[in-house]
């Protein structure tokens, strides 16, 4: 089914400014150096490059450094000039980038993991380096001494991404099994807090709203979940708009919009000022909760009534278990986070008014198979990269302003 594109009013969209290529080698990660026309990239040729835009408008490397291994994750801290690169074999390299971005010096090597490092997070406030990887481990190092402070090894699947809140010292780690591990770090102890379970596919991206204490997760199950961590009520609102894995979720600087990017090459901007309802739990039943037809595993009733069992479906608004006949209606349901058409029971369908169908998102096709996206809010720029040999740089200044 074709994606429902109901672009809201507003004309500006991301404009492609520049492309940066690596002679056919895949670029695994790229980050902006905020406030500047500079970008750091990690390539499949084991390179780390720092690119600076020249007078002719093209990017050229000011640093080209060969590493002993392929880098997969990249974290840059502007204040300290520190660059952290997570490697395919599990080590993390710490580099110092000079202010003029012309020199990159290896400062330290952390033997943090035994398999590929997928996420690093550097906290300058605490001088901590947090990391996670395919070895299913979370590791915690001190960047002053280089020593390991602690770790966490209760994940059952490779760990993909990390977030850290420096106020509460909560760390959030997503894994490929769809779980999000939450733990609290203090001076030298780690306390597991909870595991957030809600996704049916691997967690691919996490972002944290420091002000409202909301955690956003993008998953291979094509959905995004907003976890209300600060609210302490355990509420979790789902967002459905992508037709493929959600590779990336990031917030605009005023946190009023959430940007997500997926395998479907759609950039989706979600209005975060909208009140959305939690998706109802799906009820479990052996028969349709409307017409009482037995579902196909309900042999007793099928036998007693000499009828054929039917398939179970669920109404997305009330969550009731219903048969096809009783749920042959579809509608968008933006207030429940559904931006594409979903199944509804006849009863719920009658309650949907035109105003309930107004979209709370804007969709843009980027035509770029990227898995990584970053926004430099200071300059209104966005970069995308990840599964091919090009980094694309977009002007999103008006786009972000118009939709904020």
Residue with token string 């990269």? 385
Nearer residue to Zn ion within complex by CB, 40 or 315: 315
Nearer residue to Zn ion within complex by CB, 58 or 325: 325
- How far is it, in rounded angstroms, from Cα 121 to Cα 164? 7
- How far is it, in rounded angstroms, from Cα 134 to Cα 83? 21
- How far is it, in rounded angstroms, from Cα 27 to Cα 222? 24
- How far is it, in rounded angstroms, from Cα 316 to Cα 338? 9
Shortest distance in whole angstroms from residue 324 CB to Zn ion:
8
Nearer residue to Zn ion within complex by CB, 83 or 326: 326
Nearer residue to Zn ion within complex by CB, 30 or 345: 345
Residue with token string 């708009």? 241
By the 10 Å C-beta count (0-12 exposed, 13-18 middle, 19+ buried), 346 is classed as middle
DSSP strands (E only) in 134-274: 138-142, 148-152, 159-165, 170-175, 179-186, 189-197, 203-209, 214-219, 223-228, 236-240, 246-251, 257-262, 266-271
Shortest distance in whole angstroms from residue 316 CB to Zn ion:
8
Nearer residue to Zn ion within complex by CB, 63 or 323: 323
Q: Please say whether the beta carbons of 297 and 287 come within 8 A.
A: no
Of 121, 118, 123, the closest CA to residue 73 belongs to: 118
Nearer residue to Zn ion within complex by CB, 76 or 336: 336
Shortest distance in whole angstroms from residue 228 CB to Zn ion:
24
- A 10 A CB-CB count for 369 gives 14
Which residues of this chain interact with Zn ion, rule CB under 5 A?
288, 290-291, 293, 315, 317-318, 323, 326, 345, 348
Nearer residue to Zn ion within complex by CB, 3 or 318: 318
Shortest distance in whole angstroms from residue 15 CB to Zn ion:
42
Pairing state of beta strands 128-133 and 138-142?
antiparallel
Shortest distance in whole angstroms from residue 208 CB to Zn ion:
34
Q: Please say whether the beta carbons of 342 and 217 come within 8 A.
A: no
Q: Please say whether the beta carbons of 327 and 313 come within 8 A.
A: yes
Shortest distance in whole angstroms from residue 276 CB to Zn ion:
17
Shortest distance in whole angstroms from residue 279 CB to Zn ion:
12
DSSP strands (E only) in 252-403: 257-262, 266-271, 313-314, 321-322, 329-333, 338-344, 361-365, 370-376, 381-386, 390-395
Cβ neighbours of residue 17 under 8 Å, at least 6 residues apart?
A: 381, 393, 394, 395
By the 10 Å C-beta count (0-12 exposed, 13-18 middle, 19+ buried), 328 is classed as middle
Nearer residue to Zn ion within complex by CB, 272 or 348: 348
Shortest distance in whole angstroms from residue 352 CB to Zn ion:
10
Nearer residue to Zn ion within complex by CB, 113 or 240: 240
Shortest distance in whole angstroms from residue 222 CB to Zn ion:
22
């Amino acid at each position: 089914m074709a994606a429902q594109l109901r672009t809201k009013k507003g004309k500006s969209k991301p404009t492609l400014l520049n492309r940066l290529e690596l002679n056919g080698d895949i670029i695994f990660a790229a980050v902006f150096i905020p406030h500047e026309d500079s970008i750091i990239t990690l390539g499949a040729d084991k390179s780390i490059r720092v690119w600076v835009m020249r007078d002719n408008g093209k990017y050229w490397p000011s640093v080209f450094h060969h590493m002993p291994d392929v880098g997969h994750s990249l974290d840059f801290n502007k204040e300290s000039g520190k660059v952290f690169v997570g490697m395919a074999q599990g080590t993390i390299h710490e580099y110092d980038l000079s202010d003029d971005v012309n020199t990159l010096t290896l400062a330290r090597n952390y033997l943090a993991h035994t398999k590929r490092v997928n996420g690093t997070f550097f906290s300058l406030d605490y001088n901590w380096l947090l990391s996670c990887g395919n070895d299913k481990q979370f590791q915690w190092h001190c960047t002053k001494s280089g020593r390991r402070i602690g770790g966490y090894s209760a994940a059952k699947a490779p760990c993909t991404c990390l977030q850290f809140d420096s106020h509460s010292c909560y760390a959030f780690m997503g894994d490929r099994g769809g779980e999000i591990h939450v733990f609290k770090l203090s001076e030298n102890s780690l306390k597991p807090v909870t595991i957030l379970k809600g996704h049916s596919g691997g967690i691919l991206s996490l972002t944290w709203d420091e002000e409202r204490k909301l955690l956003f997760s993008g998953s291979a199950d094509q959905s995004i979940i907003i976890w209300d961590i600060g609210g302490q009520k355990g509420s979790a609102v789902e967002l459905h708009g992508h037709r493929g894995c959600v590779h990336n979720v990031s917030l605009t600087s005023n946190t009023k919009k959430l940007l997500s990017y997926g395998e479907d090459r759609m950039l989706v901007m979600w209005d975060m000022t909208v009140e959305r309802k939690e998706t109802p739990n799906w009820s479990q039943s052996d028969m349709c909760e409307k017409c009482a037809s037995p579902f196909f595993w309900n042999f007793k009733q099928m036998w007693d009534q000499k009828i054929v069992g039917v398939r179970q479906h669920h109404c997305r608004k009330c969550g009731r278990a219903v048969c096809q006949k009783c749920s042959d209606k579809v509608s968008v349901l933006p207030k429940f986070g559904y931006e594409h058409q979903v199944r509804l029971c006849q009863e719920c369908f009658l309650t949907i008014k035109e105003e309930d169908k107004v979209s709370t998102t804007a969709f843009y096709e980027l035509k770029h198979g990227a898995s990584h996206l970053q926004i430099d809010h200071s300059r209104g720029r966005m970069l995308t990269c990840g599964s091919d040999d090009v980094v694309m740089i977009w002007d999103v200044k008006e786009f972000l302003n118009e939709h904020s």
